[in-house]
Amino acid sequence: MKNTAEQFIAAVKKLSSPAEQKKIQRYFKPDEDDVFIGVPMGKLFALAKEYIDMPVSELEKLLNNPIHEVRAGALSIMDKDTRRNKIPESRRKELYDLYMRRHDRINNWDLVDVSAIYVVGRYLFDKPRKILYKLARSRNVWERRTAIVSTAYFLKHKERDDTFAIAELLVKDKEDLIHKAAGGWLRQAGKGDKAALLQFLDKYAATMPRTMLRYAIEHLDVKQKKHYMELKKLT
């Protein structure tokens, strides 16, 4: 059975290449202890499917690994597992707890994006969501990104209040990767409730980061886009 960290790491290393390593590093801001070995994400995610039943203790070993693609693989395994409808609630909680406990190892945008929606968002869907507001106020940029990205699961089920509320906490954020995430999620929330999006923009368009605003208004008509961008220019 393929269920150990050692087996997974060996398989990941076999997929690496110097050419892919150069290509991948153009898209990331490496953490000081991040090591990229050059594994195509498609191949990595396909490999993750083979290890979907890996014990949590082994997954934590992967998260402790300095190789970026190994950690991405661990989080892909967690994501794929939590997408399964028949996953026991106890297993779902274990994976959520692991994510939150070892958030220090989730230290780049792709690691958040590949896992937060289902590992965190789906777990919290029928539970109190105060933890997301705590994360949104964190000094750690990746914890703040988890806060907003996780709400995508709520949006799938037409629950938009948390997306707007957390985006409101992030309107003064200094990080471009937060601007893009919050703006994109506002755009998605606005697809289902345009009035709520316009209300948000009426309040914050003039002061929110330009990138966040551009992402949020992407699906509005030309006249509305011009209106909100002009509000931004006035500040």
Q: Is the pLDDT of residue 230 over 60?
A: yes
Tell me how crowded residue 136 is: count the other CB atoms within 10 A of its CB: 24
CA 24 vs CA 20, 45, 48, 216: distances in Å: 6, 15, 19, 27
- Say if residue 24's pLDDT is above 90: no
Residues 6+ apart with CB under 8 A from 134: none
Q: Residue 29 pLDDT more than 70?
A: no
Reported as a pLDDT band with limits 50, 70 and 90, residue 27 is: confident
The first and second tokens of residue 206, run together, are 């003039």
Q: 87, 118 in Cβ contact below 8 A?
A: no
What average pLDDT does the segment 55-82 reach? 97
Mean pLDDT, residues 204-220 = 96
Q: What is the pLDDT of residue 232?
A: 83
CA dihedral 189, 187, 201, 148 (to 10 degrees): 70
Contacts of 147 (CB under 8 A, 6+ apart): 132, 133, 135, 136, 138, 166, 169, 170
The mean pLDDT of the chain is 95
Average pLDDT over residues 16-41: 81
- Straight-line distance from the first to the last Cα atom of the chain, in angstroms, rounded to the nearest whole number: 60
Chain-centre distance of CA 110, in angstroms?
7
Nearest-CA neighbor of 125 among 83, 86, 167? 83
Residue 34 has pLDDT above 90, yes or no: no
Q: When comparing pLDDT for 32 and 94, which is higher?
A: 94
Mean pLDDT calculated for residue range 127-132:
98
**Do 152 and 167 meet the contact criterion of CB atoms below 8 Å apart?**
no
- Per-residue pLDDT band for 31 (boundaries 50, 70, 90) equals low
Decide if 189 contacts 160 (C-beta within 8 A): yes
pLDDT tens per residue across span 35-63: 899 999 999 999 999 999 999 999 999 99
128-235 adopts what CATH topology? Leucine-rich Repeat Variant (1.25.10)
Name the DSSP class of 127: S
pTM: 0.94
CATH code 1.25.10.90 region(s) in the chain: 128-235
Nearest to 182 by CA among 170, 194, 197: 170
Q: Where are the alpha helices (DSSP H) in the chain?
A: 5-14, 18-25, 41-49, 56-63, 68-83, 89-101, 109-113, 123-124, 130-136, 141-149, 152-156, 161-169, 176-192, 194-204, 210-216, 222-233
- C-alpha 101/C-alpha 176 separation (Å) is 25
